[in-house]
Amino acid sequence: MDIASQMILFANVVDHGSFSATARSLGLTPSAVSKQISQLENRLGLRLLNRSTRQISPTLEGRSFYEHCAGISAGVIQAEALAESLSGRPTGNLRVATTVAFGKAQLLPLMTAFIASYPELKVALELTDRHIDLAATDYDLAIRFADQITETSVVACKLASSRRLLCASPTYLAAHAAPETPEDLIGHNCLRISTVAHWNEWQFRKGEQTWQFEAAGNFDANSADAVYHATLAGLGIAQLSSYLVDPDIASGRLVALLPEYEEKATDIFAVYSDKRNLSPKVRVFIDYLVEHLRPLPH
């Protein structure tokens, strides 16, 4: 690998915060990424990264060097976007980040037909529930819920709407009386999602009355996907997106609770940095998702 490629790779490692996340985004192995960074350090005669078993962070010299590497990486992305816009064809690498649950339940089933329609595209899908700074990374776009969007320097395109439904497994309800009102949730084991704090503020409405309940229990996870599987296993009650639990409610694997109470709805967006032009590859992907995701079931 030449030094320019290693510099771009180094910028990716700093942006992702780990060799493994960088490797997943680029279709490499963590050991290959680590080897290239070591070769770059040997070439420069500098230690660029502090390495520990828990995390990777740039050294003082690495932080200074990163600024130059990030500029090169951004320039390559812009050049790629320009080439695509001139050709009018969606080509190259499409880098997409989305939450684990949404990616597994909604995006992965659509990938076969999308890739078949655009064979010149290579899709790199990152499933993660951590926040990603689109302006500082090489992702072309991210799929996020409305309440996950905190930046002002992004463009958001609505893809679909989804409701959050209260549910539990028949196994859990066999051992615990099903709640009949929001007040009955007190004393139940309510499962929490740790990545977005206000997702644990469960809201209900019936007519003109509203309730807000702070979910509390003995289990939380940093992914809605993990909470979903914990609910299926009978660990407790959860409030999860309709696209995730509707098939299980229909099959009887989960039971919808408090169905007469209206629960919180949210919109789902494709988000990309406003510093980048909307290239053909991003445009066709967003158009494809709008066509196939709206509306999501309730």
Comma-separated ranges of CATH 1.10.10.10 domains in the chain: 1-87
pLDDT greater than 70 at residue 107? yes
Q: Which band of pLDDT confidence, cut at 50, 70 and 90, is reported for residue 16?
A: confident
Comma-separated ranges of CATH 3.40.190.290 domains in the chain: 143-298
Q: Which band of pLDDT confidence, cut at 50, 70 and 90, is reported for residue 86?
A: low
Kindly report the pTM of this predicted structure. 0.67
Q: What is the pLDDT of residues 237-279, one digit of tens each?
A: 999 998 899 999 999 999 999 999 887 778 899 998 865 557 8
Nearest in space to 149 (alpha carbons), one of 162, 135, 131, 161: 131
Q: Which band of pLDDT confidence, cut at 50, 70 and 90, is reported for residue 146?
A: confident
Q: What is the pLDDT of residues 169-214, one digit of tens each?
A: 999 999 999 999 999 999 899 999 988 778 899 988 888 888 888 9
Q: Which band of pLDDT confidence, cut at 50, 70 and 90, is reported for residue 145?
A: confident
CATH number for the region 1-87 comes to 1.10.10.10
Q: Which band of pLDDT confidence, cut at 50, 70 and 90, is reported for residue 42?
A: very high
- Give the architecture (CATH level 2) of 143-298: 3-Layer(aba) Sandwich (3.40)
In this predicted structure, what is the pLDDT of residue 298? 44
